[in-house]
Structure formats: C-alpha cells, structure tokens
Amino acid sequence: MFQILAVARREIYSFFVSFRAYVILSLGLSLFTLFFGLMLADGREASMRQMFEVMHFLFLTICPILTMGLIAEEHRSGTIELLRTAPMSRAGVVVGKYLGAMAIFLLLVASTFHFYGILEHFGAPDRWPVATGYLGLMCEGSLLIAMGLFASSLTASQAVAGLLTYGSCFVLYALALVEPYVPGKWAGLITYFGLGNHLDSMARGLIETQDLVYFASTTLFFLGLTVWRFQTRG
C-alpha cells in the first residue's frame, strides 16, 4: 500500500510542476464560474442541477487532458522502465497512477463547493440532490480517468491518448442522444451504457443500485485493461 501511495504522490507532484496543471485548474474553474454566473444572472431557481449538467459535459474535455500523459509520457521519456523494474506489481503502478489522477480530479471538484455556499446564503436549495449530484461527479470522474489511463497505456503520444479518451468519453455521453432512434431490442442496452442516463438520475437526487454497479464495473473494467496492457506491452 505504501508503494501505491508513493506512485500516487509522484503523479501529483509531477502534475503540479507542469504547466498543464495550471491550465487545467484555471480553465476548469474559470468555465465553471462563468456558467454559474450566467445561471444566476438568468434568474434561475436556487439549484445546482443545471450546474452539474454543465460540469458533466466540461469534464468530458478536462479528464482527457488530465490523463493523457499518465503512461504515455513515461513511454516517451523512457522512465517506464523504472516503473517496470520497481519492487511492486504492475497492478500497483496502475492503481497508484489512478489514485494520483483521482486526487487531482477531486481537488477540481472541491473547488466548486463555494457555488453551493452561495446558493445556501441567498436561497434554500435542496441539500440531498446537491450531495447526490456531487456523488455523480465523482462517479463520472472515476470512469473517465480509468478510460483515460487505459488510452494513455496504448500509445507514447499524449495527443493521441487525449484524442482516444475524448472520443470514447463523448461516445458514452452521446448514447443517450441516439437512444430514441435505436430499435426497441437495442434501446435497453443503449440506455444502460449511456453515461448521461446514470448521471441525470443522481443529479435529480436518486441513487439507484444499477447506477452504482454501472460506474463500479466499467471503472474496474478499464483499470483491468490497463493492467493487462501494461503487463503485455514491450
């Protein structure tokens, strides 16, 4: 466990000494603040639901940028061999990198807590949908980061890894849009794998077992693929 946390700390440190860290954090918080301000200026109800919808969509772009160099940069710089020869399992390396990226993601999510504080001060928002909405954000991040980590293990190019992650994330998100045009026998499958369908229920204050199973199973699936790729790639 100590070795996994050491990899996670290394990932967090390398992130914050790079220019990419400040681009992601400043861009993300600026966009979140902009949309929150527009929501208030429009005189909408004291609710975080629409803000969560915006954040869900923006994270489709932010997460690929966050994850594209997790393993790809190690291959490009040649430091991957240090990880391969480290006295820990390949799975431990993958989990450590995943936890490091998740910590950064959660920091970005936490930077939006003051939005709720503003609504609480000026209105009376329903607290339970806010709590489940933030749970939905964490579930989304867990899946998108696992997908990005796998994409980063496929190539030594950060740009390619980022594009692969963005394309995959967008497909999952867009499944809900094509659902009305899918024949009945396939509609149920599209509904289940559509990322937006599971996030919408949490934003409304609903926590359903199938949503938690969806995020847990898909996240573990992509982490498993990453471990397999990391073990077999020469």
Q: Which of 179, 209, 181, 203 is nearest to 193 (CA)?
A: 179
Whole-number mean pLDDT of the chain? 83
Residue ranges of domains in the chain: 2-232
Residue 12 is predicted with a pLDDT of: 84
Cα 185 to its chain centre, rounded Å, is 30
Hey, what are 69's tokens?
């160099």
Would you state the structure tokens that stand for residue 165, as one six-digit string?
């992650």
- What is the per-residue pLDDT for 26? 85
**CB-based contact 111:20 (threshold 8 Å):** no
Question: Which pLDDT score, from 0 to 100, does residue 206 have?
Answer: 83
Model confidence at 146, pLDDT cuts 50, 70, 90, reads: very high
